[in-house]
Amino acid sequence: MTTDNDPSLRKMADEVHRVVRAERRRDRFSLLLLVTAVAAALLWWLSPTQEKIQWQTYTVDRADMILTAMATGNFHP
């Protein structure tokens, strides 16, 4: 018996082919969804973050200031 001679077998074969194609599309979609999710997670993980600026404040007092400089070479005023 061949599918050319029996229309019910041909219809059944067409249905099997349709299901197989649908499964392949679903597998491709799942793979694409997974790749997109991994790429989004990597972008989020590697993206630079804005760190909060922390200021340091000190109380100013009057005092003598001592300045020391060390260098090598010629000094020109």
Query: What pTM was computed for the model?
Result: 0.42
Residue 4's pLDDT band, with cuts at 50, 70 and 90, is low
Residue 38's pLDDT band, with cuts at 50, 70 and 90, is very high
The Cα 40–Cα 30 span in angstroms is: 15
Residue 35's pLDDT band, with cuts at 50, 70 and 90, is very high
Q: Is pLDDT above 80 for 43? A: yes
The confidence score (pLDDT) of residue 16 equals 84
